[in-house]
Structure 1
């Protein structure tokens, strides 16, 4: 009976029972196994030492652009770096088996093993397609593919291309349906007027409702917002998008969210710009000689005997000829007021610095901005002050996110805008108006000092007659105006996730307050006006006499101006539900309660001193099926103190539906040609409670005393 080699027992017993050639084969296999097990173990008496490895490379987007600020982290460690402005990086890892994690906002996170040598050139792909992009809407977020209402978003990077420090000037031409125009380029007065789908209501407020982080702000606060602080910029146009704002959404809504911190090492960003501003066009004005000839012609045309009318002063042929020949410019003045008062260009500066980062419990985003805008007015060096426009704007912002526990989070937002302005008494636009309307040949802007007037310490401004004519140069250089504004805002948000009760349920509460203060002052002197008093054409000498010695001054007087203080308080609470069933049925809804109070601290009358108040409840419900069919219903039930108690509240509903045709199977053959096709229809009501004027807002009272 032969013994079998394969049977139960220890390895040693098997070897004893097997034939000789099998014993040799098994011993060889066992030796290889033992060598493999011990190949990576350090020799006895030695310590295994990891040799560091330095890795360098560059990160780019799938569009071929260098990506700055990309987080690069060695997986499983806290070792990390950030790419520089050109997308380059250098990191030291423990060995070639290390895994690097590349992450950036808006891009798909990518992991790369160092030994594969692929870390030297990284291409990050954008995280979402256009239809999957998340868009900020009223009191929430929606995927672009799920939206029924008309909402347009602008990429914040586009605003950085704007050469102005005023954000409102960047809206024109960027969004369909927005009408925007700028009435003035004067610093401090250069806010653009803009309307969404035209002027759709009446009253003293026809511009859109502007919200920054759900806090209502003024157009100037939007203008002072720097593009570096913007995370999203949405414009809500139709009733379905704005109905949740009820009595305040008739003119459309602009909703801006600011950046927040994210977990990781601190990332510092700095942007500094210098720009040159010049007038786009100027009004063509007649030269002084043409002015006098046309004036005489106008007089003769209207009154042929005008030369005999003692109340009509005609320009003599001698004055016209001597002015044309350039004879003594103080006797025969030919003033180019615009060239005399305005420069060709102005230099402006803008700077922003922000830092963001944080850990697992708290993340932060802190930003500071400084803008300096200068005017194109000239200053007279004989004055000890500068009357040119100088606007300095400072902005501070701090957003801190705190994770209290797994289900609760807090957001604290603080922001401040501060303006310091110096400029001419009457403003830059008024100076240009004086240039256009002032006579260029009656008198010079000022008379120079000579031997007889060398001890005079003031500027001898020119004038005519009794000194009642307007001298635009004197109006510009006789003093200056200062104003200062400050706007402080504080906001606290509480978010709690109730998914432990039912999936998709959450609650949010938010309150904020806004404080605004303004004051201005004037410092000026009364100009000394002089007129021509005799001229000797043979010696080319002239005399002058003072027209107002009793009223003119050589010192700056002080005149206090307006003082404005107001405050706004806002509070809202929201219950939100969002869930998908069976991967096809999407259901969401929210209910919002809100209240707002605006108070003017230094009102001029009783009506303006009473608080402006709004109270309301809003809601939204949406349903989608298989990313093809969408239904949405919105409503706002809002009240205002402006109306009688029987008509104080109004109901503003809206509804809409959409069909994404391109997601149907029958559409697939032409999807390469038409990538996306969507049909939608909406209908609804929105309102405006800012009718009439603030001074007469209580229409239901015949008189309020």
Structure 2
């Protein structure tokens, strides 16, 4: 149907809209498991997403860019770790014990489950088709039981030589501050009360001015008393430690993505190559994710009946840091 915009007023209680057929969309060609068909002739359940429709937001993989774009496709982020992939489900879970991941097919070649989407640069994608019913995915057998994600990458065109460079940089901030102790005296008082209410003996109450074993070996740690924390102990100096771990550990992370691509060719030879560098910083310091991807596509017409080509995708990732949190004592 054709897109239609209608103005409404604040006092309008109801609205009737009549949409017109969009014949151009009916002639659109879709890629399915057994070839290509016109949209008007398609009887299976297929959703299409063009590469230009993907959000221009930095992400470590394509799966994170599919959220909310295709009906029947559920994308669940596993966490906030830099470079963490997402879980994809097509029309819900189809198995109790077996794999629930859909099959990924790139330019006609099965690549395995959807977790391998991290190997593809979003800038290289021409279109994505998701096959959701049994008839469309039947050609892939049991591998397509959970649905099929078909990705078509960009290829060179005869007579068009292009060089393109794109960059994307973002800065993220925390929406909310963690609810942690702000006053070391209150933290120590409640820790002592919790230990006492739990049945601890007097010497096991933490903050009473004692040195206790810590870790392995002969390491020790000193727990100051409440009076020492308040600066009321005449025999000791006021306690000078009050570490704000949120300010020390957390940061405003920056994400960067740079892509350089070139494509073109002649009637007999077509080429497309690209390289991408993606860097994502975690919210905690020293927690980073780096990804390098490269792609080379060449098609050569040997004669009118034979065409040879190659499609190579290389990816290297490096994840550093992790496990650094702010749930520590200010004391």
- 1:170 paired residue among 45, 65, 69: 65
Kept in 2: contact 1:165–1:224 (CA 8 A) = no
The offset of 1:234, in angstroms, is: 1.0
Contact 1:210-1:218 within 8 A present in 2 as well? yes
Task: Assess, with a 3 A threshold, how the Cα gap between structure 1 residues 342 and 134 changes in structure 2: closer, same or farther.
Answer: same
Q: Of 314, 320, 324, which residue of structure 2 is paired with 1:431?
A: 324
> Does the residue aligned with 2:26 lie in a helix, a strand or coil?
coil
Q: Compared with structure 1, are the counterparts of its residues 180 and 322 closer, same or farther at alpha carbon in structure 2 (3 Å cutoff)?
A: farther
* RMSD (CA atoms): 2.7
- How far off its partner does 1:341 sit? 1.9
Q: Aligned in 2, Cα 1:358/1:128: closer, same or farther, shift over 3 Å?
A: farther
- Offset of residue 302 of structure 1: 4.2
Pick from 358, 363, 370: which aligns with 2:270?
363
Distance 1:356 1:297, change over 3 A: same
Question: What runs of 5+ residues in structure 2 fail to find an aligned partner?
Answer: 4-21, 209-224
The residue that corresponds to 2:249 in the other structure is 341
Q: Secondary structure at the match of 2:161?
A: strand
Pairwise CA distance, 1:290: 3.1
The structure showing larger relative contact order (alpha-carbon pairs under 8 Å, at least 6 residues apart) is 2
Q: Distance in 2 between matches of 1:317 and 1:245?
A: 69
Using a 3 Å threshold, how does the CA distance of structure 1 residues 335 and 158 change in structure 2: closer, same or farther? same
1:149 aligns with 2:47: no
Q: 2:315 aligns with which of 417, 422, 425?
A: 417
User: What is the match of residue 561 of structure 1?
Assistant: none
1:170 Cα deviation from its structure 2 partner: 1.1
The 5 Å alignment of 1:478-489 reads none
Deviation at 1:219, TM superposition (A): 4.4
Q: Give per-residue Cα distances to partners, 1:6-25, cap 9 Å, x unaligned.
A: xxxxxxxxxxxxxxxxxxxx
Q: What pairs up with 1:230-269 in 2 under 5 angstroms?
A: 230-269=125-164
When the two structures are superposed, what TM-score results if normalisation uses the length of structure 2?
0.78
Question: What's the CA shift for 1:174?
Answer: 1.2
Mapped to 2, the partners of 1:279 and 1:218 lie a distance apart of 33
1:294 has 2:190 as partner: yes
Q: Return closer, same or farther for 1:279/1:181 CA change in 2, 3 Å cut-off.
A: farther
Q: Secondary structure at the match of 2:311?
A: strand
Question: Residue in 2 aligned with 1:402?
Answer: 300
Partners of 2:101 and 2:113 within 8 A in 1: no
Offset of 1:143 from its aligned partner? 1.4
SS class of match (1:310): helix
- Alignment map for 1:306-705 (pairs within 5 Å): 309-314=202-207, 316-322=225-231, 331-343=239-251, 345-378=252-285, 388-421=286-319, 423-424=320-321, 428=322, 430-432=323-325, 435-436=326-327, 438-441=328-331
TM-score by length of 1: 0.38
The Cα of 1:370 is off from its aligned counterpart by: 1.5
Contact 2:132 2:147 in 1 (8 A): yes
Query: Measured at CA, do residues 340 and 145 of structure 1 come closer, stay the same or move farther in structure 2, by a change above 3 Å?
Result: same
Checking the alignment, whether the CA contact within 8 Å between 2:48 and 2:127 is kept in structure 1 is yes
Give SS of 1:313's match.
coil
Q: Do the aligned partners of 1:226 and 1:369 also contact (CA within 8 Å) in 2?
A: yes
Q: Does the Cα contact within 8 Å between 1:136 and 1:232 map onto a contact in 2? A: no
CA contact (8 A) 2:189 2:226 kept: no
* Match 1:134 to one of 24, 29, 53: 29
Q: Distance in 1 between matches of 2:134 and 2:52?
A: 28
Q: Distance in 2 between matches of 1:177 and 1:328?
A: 65
Tell me, yes or no, if the aligned pair for 2:185 and 2:226 is still in contact at 8 Å.
no
Q: 1:278, 1:367 → 2: CA distance?
A: 31
CA contact (8 A) 1:166 1:224 kept: yes
Distance in 1 (CA, whole Å) between partners of 2:305 and 2:191 is 80
Conserved in 2, the CA contact under 8 Å of 1:355 and 1:366? yes
Partner in structure 2 of residue 196 of structure 1: 90
**What SS is found at the alignment partner of 1:440?**
coil
Structure 2 residue matching 1:157: 3-state secondary structure: helix
Describe the shift of the 1:414–1:224 C-alpha distance in structure 2 as closer, same or farther (beyond 3 A).
Answer: closer
Question: Aligned pairs, how many?
Answer: 290
Q: What SS class does the counterpart of residue 243 from structure 1 fall into?
A: helix
The answer on whether the counterparts of 2:58 and 2:169 sit within 8 Å (CA) in structure 1 is no
Q: Deviations over 1:156-192 (max 9, x none)?
A: 112242232432211111112222221223223x211
Shift of 1:217: 4.2
The structure in which a higher percent of residues are strand is 1
Q: 1:319 to 1:143 in 2, by over 3 A?
A: farther
Residues 179, 322 of structure 1: alpha-carbon distance in 2 compared, 3 angstrom cutoff: farther
Is the Cα–Cα contact under 8 Å of residues 49 and 127 in structure 2 kept in the other structure?
Answer: yes
Cα contact 2:102–2:113 (8 A) shared by 1: no
Question: What is the CA–CA distance in structure 2 between the aligned matches of 1:185 and 1:206, rounded to whole Å?
Answer: 22
> C-alpha distance in 2, partners of 1:390/1:301?
42
Counterpart in 2 of 1:225? 120
